[in-house]
Amino acid sequence: MNHKNQSSSQTQKASRNLFLKGCILLINALVVSKIWYTTYIQPPSCKQISDINKLIMNS
């Protein structure tokens, strides 16, 4: 593979990684804002809090 093709391939990988990271950040922001809004309106049950804590600890 010549230098130009290798550089193009690296650029595509970097672009894909940035796109994926951007999507993850956007999804996290939307999900977290929805959780905050929902818990403000209706506080979570003890089981829901326990489930959320388990998810956080396993991340």
Query: What separation in angstroms does the CA of 16 have from each of 11, 24, 36?
Result: 9, 12, 30
**Rounded Cα distance, 37 and 33, in Å:** 6
Contact between 17 and 9 (Cβ < 8 Å): no
pTM of the model: 0.43
Task: Tell me the DSSP string of 14-32.
Answer: HHHHHHHHHHHHHHHHHHH
Average pLDDT over residues 42-53: 91
Cβ within 8 Å of residue 1, ≥6 positions away: 9
Query: pLDDT, tens digit, for every residue of 7-38?
Result: 777 777 777 777 888 888 888 889 888 888 88
